[in-house]
Amino acid sequence: MLIRPDEKGRFGAFGGRYVPETLIPALEELDLEFNKAWADPLFRAEFDHYLKEYVGRPNPITEAKKLSSDTGLHVVIKREDLNHTGAHKINNALGQCLLALRMGKKRIIAETGAGQHGVATATVCALFGLECEVYMGVEDIARQQLNVFRMKLLGAKVNPVSSGTQTLKDALNEAMRDWVTNVGDTHYIIGTAAGPHPYPYMVREFQRVIGDEARAQYLARYDRLPDVAIACVGGGSNAIGMFTAFVPDANVRLIGVEAGGLGLNSGKHAAPLSAGSPGVLHGSYSYLMQDDDGQVIGTHSISAGLDYPGVGAEHSYLKDAGRVEYIAIDDDEAINALKWVASSEGLIPAIESAHAFAPLRNRDLLPEGSRVLVNMSGRGDKDMETVARLLSF
Ligand SMILES: *Cc1c(COP(=O)(O)O)cnc(C)c1O
């Protein structure tokens, strides 16, 4: 089961290109150029070179002794937190910047919610001398001032977005609008495995290094595969990056963890696969959070990186195919897991990643003795203000 989108850019019923007419040629060109580059050993060698020399790959897998003894599981962690800029997002930003250079684009635009994708993009643009503009909701700018400063320091321009809820989904709309106008010299780096084709496929390919490395590292170390691999799901890029290597291994269970916010019953969450329905958002047909009239519902998660009403098309396909199990973890379960992992292993996960650790405590989901591989998508430094407001010692 090797999954490729069909010629219409669909994973089963999901995906496609629901965009203004003017963007179709740009998406077709991007699809063509990406496929050429990805088949070109020189491009692969260049990508690998920067992953190694600049990002710091391969990052290790780490056996979590205390989490294992606490749970009766065998827990191993994939360490995306050790990447330059602190999370998996730089894998994709790097791949797309190299592609933009190859396509002769001079200007990069991106959207960002919490600022992590904006920082990763601004970082790589500084490295390659590309002009960089990042769209960010006014609300998010106020909440994430340190990342706004980082982006500016790296030489990027941050464009405040005051439409809608002034958050990520509005920043995405605004970036799309910019791209329609400036498509000649501009490449748009979407930060997750969502959006119109070829983004879900291209971002997956740039992120699959996570699972390709982890699978080989696990095999080399234990001479077998894990029983289960777990990753958190916002738009879905770190999860699909982890899962892709294991999808053909029918005996490896795959679990994607969405943001349950204040609980699925409260309606205040960001869990479209667990509690949403299919529809069109940001150029793609996929599960999303919408009301009966198809209006996108406001989301809530303690974790800014998971606070998105949609999800990548391939996850929708994997859900309906029954290959991946999707569950939701609430805000307070995630914060408890963060505290547990930090004090047990000396590793402070991002709040997003803490969602992937929380299910380790669930013996109904993970029977005793299971060998579990958890993707730690990023480190928690960026979240310490949020966590400090919630926990006291
Ligand atoms: C952005 C982010 C996520 C969520 O994005 P995905 O595309 O679903 O991976 C998860 N973890 C961290 C650390 C992030 O920064």
Cα of 306 to ligand 1 centre, how many Å? 7
Query: Which ligand 1 atom is the nearest neighbour of the CA of 350?
Result: 13
pLDDT of amino acid 198: 98
Amino acid letter, residue 188: Y
Pocket test for ligand 1, best of 90, 96, 147, 377 (most atoms within 8 A of CB): 377
Pocket test for ligand 1, best of 232, 258, 282, 308 (most atoms within 8 A of CB): 232
For the chain, which residues make up each domain, given as ranges?
10-51+89-203, 58-86+209-390
Residue 232 has pLDDT above 60, yes or no: yes
Query: Are 302 and 270 in contact, with CB atoms under 8 Å apart?
Result: no
Give all strands of the β-sheet with 371-376 in edge-to-edge order: 61-63, 74-79, 371-376, 228-232, 253-261, 324-330
pLDDT of amino acid 285: 98
Query: Which ligand 1 atom is the nearest neighbour of the CA of 80?
Result: 13
Residue 2 has pLDDT above 80, yes or no: no
Cα of 234 to ligand 1 centre, how many Å? 6
pLDDT of amino acid 202: 98
Name which residue sits closest to atom 14 of ligand 1, judged by CA: 305
Pick from 200, 190, 191, 197: nearest CA to 26: 197
Mean pLDDT of 179-199: 97
Cα of 204 to ligand 1 centre, how many Å? 13
Distance in angstroms (rounded) separating the CA atoms of residues 126 and 129: 5
Query: Are 257 and 328 in contact, with CB atoms under 8 Å apart?
Result: yes
Name which residue sits closest to atom 10 of ligand 1, judged by CA: 352
pLDDT of amino acid 151: 98
Residue 228 has pLDDT above 90, yes or no: yes
| Whole-number average pLDDT of the chain | 97
Name which residue sits closest to atom 1 of ligand 1, judged by CA: 305
Tell me which residues are annotated as active site: 89, 111, 377
Distance in angstroms (rounded) separating the CA atoms of residues 125 and 94: 9
Least confident segment among 1-10, 216-225, 269-278? 1-10
Cα of 87 to ligand 1 centre, how many Å? 8
SS3 track for the chain? CCCCCCCCCEECCEECCCCCHHHHHHHHHHHHHHHHHHCCHHHHHHHHHHHHHHHCCCCCEEECHHHHHHHCCEEEEEEHHHCHHHECHHHHHHHHHHHHHHCCCCEEEEEECCCHHHHHHHHHHHHHCCEEEEEEEHHHHHHCHHHHHHHHHCCCEEEEECCCCCCHHHHHHHHHHHHHHHCCCEEEECCCCCCCCCHHHHHHHHHCHHHHHHHHHHHHHHCCCCCEEEEECCCCHHHHHHHCCCCCCCCCEEEEEEEEECCHHHCCCECHHHHCEEEEECCEEEEECECCCCCECCCCCCCHHHCCCECCHHHHHHHHCCCEEEEEEEHHHHHHHHHHHHHHHCCCECHHHHHHHHHHHCCCCCCCCCEEEEEECEECHHHHHHHHHHCCC
Fold of 10-51+89-203: Rossmann fold (3.40.50)
Name which residue sits closest to atom 7 of ligand 1, judged by CA: 237
pLDDT of amino acid 392: 82
In this prediction, residue 281 has a pLDDT band, given cuts at 50, 70 and 90, of very high
CA 310 to chain centre: 12
CATH of domain 58-86+209-390: 3.40.50.1100
Distance in angstroms (rounded) separating the CA atoms of residues 181 and 192: 22
Whole-structure pTM value = 0.98
User: 309: which 2 tokens?
Assistant: 């009403």
Cα of 303 to ligand 1 centre, how many Å? 9
pLDDT of amino acid 136: 97
pLDDT of amino acid 3: 86
User: 310: which 2 tokens?
Assistant: 């949609």
Mean pLDDT of 282-295: 96
Distance in angstroms (rounded) separating the CA atoms of residues 112 and 44: 27
pLDDT of amino acid 1: 54
Query: Which ligand 1 atom is the nearest neighbour of the CA of 191?
Result: 7
Name which residue sits closest to atom 3 of ligand 1, judged by CA: 305
Q: Which residues contact 58 (CB under 8 A, 6 or more apart)?
A: 52, 213, 217
Query: Are 211 and 169 in contact, with CB atoms under 8 Å apart?
Result: no
Amino acid letter, residue 44: R
In this prediction, residue 143 has a pLDDT band, given cuts at 50, 70 and 90, of confident
Distance in angstroms (rounded) separating the CA atoms of residues 66 and 128: 42
Query: Which ligand 1 atom is the nearest neighbour of the CA of 236?
Result: 8
Residue 214 has pLDDT above 70, yes or no: yes
Distance in angstroms (rounded) separating the CA atoms of residues 272 and 14: 14
Pocket test for ligand 1, best of 77, 88, 111, 379 (most atoms within 8 A of CB): 88
Cα of 354 to ligand 1 centre, how many Å? 11
Same fold, 10-51+89-203 and 58-86+209-390: yes
pLDDT of amino acid 181: 94
Distance in angstroms (rounded) separating the CA atoms of residues 234 and 232: 7
Name which residue sits closest to atom 2 of ligand 1, judged by CA: 305
As for ligand 1, residues whose beta carbon falls within 6 Å of it are: 87, 89, 116, 192, 232-239, 305-306, 350, 352-353, 377-378
Pick from 191, 185, 179: nearest CA to 151: 191
Query: Which ligand 1 atom is the nearest neighbour of the CA of 239?
Result: 9
Mean pLDDT of 140-161: 95
Residue 129 half-sphere exposure, CB side, CA atoms within 13 Å?
A: 1
Cα of 291 to ligand 1 centre, how many Å? 25
Residue 116 has pLDDT above 80, yes or no: yes
Percent of the chain with pLDDT over 70: 99
Residue 168 has pLDDT above 70, yes or no: yes
